[in-house]
Structure 1
Amino acid sequence: MCNLAVRDTKGKVLPSLMSSLNRYNNARRQKRYGPFHYKYVTSKPLGRGSGPKDQYVFLYRQETVNVTDTYQYDDTKKDRDVFTRDPFAIRVKAPKTEIGEFVLIPLQATADGALQEIDKLYDVYEEIKEKWNIEDVMLLGDFYADCGYVTKKSRQTNRLFTSSDFFWLIGDKVDTCARAGTDCAYDRIVVHGKPFLKAVEPLSAQVFNYKKTYRLSQDLVMRVSDHFPVEVNLKTVSSGPRLMTGHPLFIVLSLIVSLSCTLSVFDTK
């Protein structure tokens, strides 16, 4: 699971969350499935100048996923400083999935710089490919990729949109906003290459409207975030006949505006 905009200035929120999550999870699931243990990986606080600093946080079950490497992209050393919050990549091994190993790169873009930041993700991908010799990459985050910030005309010169090697799993007609009266596909999941696309469960990329699922009030929803999480399932390796395939790996992106950013990867068993 990946959450964006995490602000844990005292370094106490995430350890407390992990302790509570593991305690609750073990109490609820141990008798049926056995215990799962959650861990997390986080970027350093990111942002320009003296303004607020946000973190990218990856939350995962260590029985399902192994984080083998991390990389903090730094475009201040490039020709132009495009990103306000530089992408933070993690390389993971997920042996239960068909894809096996892949890279996750989240981005929390800014509204005014959305088009340039999305285009720059192409360079981030190229750098990761060269560094780790891997092409199976998932880009995900709040791209502001709709509603005036990124128009159809402006996409014509944007490499992440024009390249046939990138597949946008969350489409333009999806509303990822929790705010009433807003209908915009800001949050996206993008994968590189047909092998990765084939490793995705068909039609599994979607918005999780927890307001509707849990019948929450609009006020409570807005206290959590003005974005709904987006999610996707990865196919698992068959343990026999087709009907015996395992539970898909579940990847969630959520945006918690005032508290934290976390990317979490779960086995849906």
Structure 2
Amino acid sequence: MAVGQLGAEPGTTVVEVSEPRPPLDYYLLLTKPGDRDPIGEVEGIVVEEFTRHHDFSAAGLDSAGWTPSGDGWWSSASFSRGMRTDPALLARVVPTSRSTAEDVHRKLGGGQLPVEAVLRTYFRDHQPFPNVPPLRLGPAQPPTGLHERRVFRVLFAKDLREEQVANLRAVWQPTVDDAAPAPGSVVAGALDKDGDRFTWDVRRVGRGLAWSLDLTVLLKSNASQALGSTLYDLTNVLRQHGLIPVTTERFS
């Protein structure tokens, strides 16, 4: 599934194209901290979507929220930032699936959750990210037989419990023999798609205050669709394990 914001050089306006977008990201807003069994303590729902440059680095973030006591859907860039920086608010936000968000929306009296095309019309307060040229991390040239090497880092807020790390290790069994974990990583994986090679690892960063997914891509063909879908899928797996994506940076 390809990211829907393509066609712009870094630092220019993001251009929409007709390729299918990835699903929106859904979150539950709890009345009090806790993520073990939050369904009975939900105060509202938040939906989000990252806008992206042509190389899949993050260009900005759109979000909208709904609470039964409010007047419809609202949009707030400052609330979205607080979900990632305010410890008290962060403790009350839990990533979830659309199906769970639909159930919660009905139980809280909102009826049927709008389809994603309608939810996107509630994005009224866009949060742009600074335009930063790609950093250089690792060798510039790909191995022989491959035409491009790219490195991405997805930063996340919140924390992983030990059982969540163990589950990620079970989910991401490497599919190539030489996918050894990088120093400092707690989870690693690898995947080959029609000659394109993807390797990744998960580690703590920022003196243990955050997590990152580092993805190295070695392209044999111009497989932008495979790159976008893999980056989204890996990010979403970590979301399903409780982390909240903050941004996606390109290192090379």
Greater strand content? 2
Q: Same fold by TM (over 0.5)?
A: no
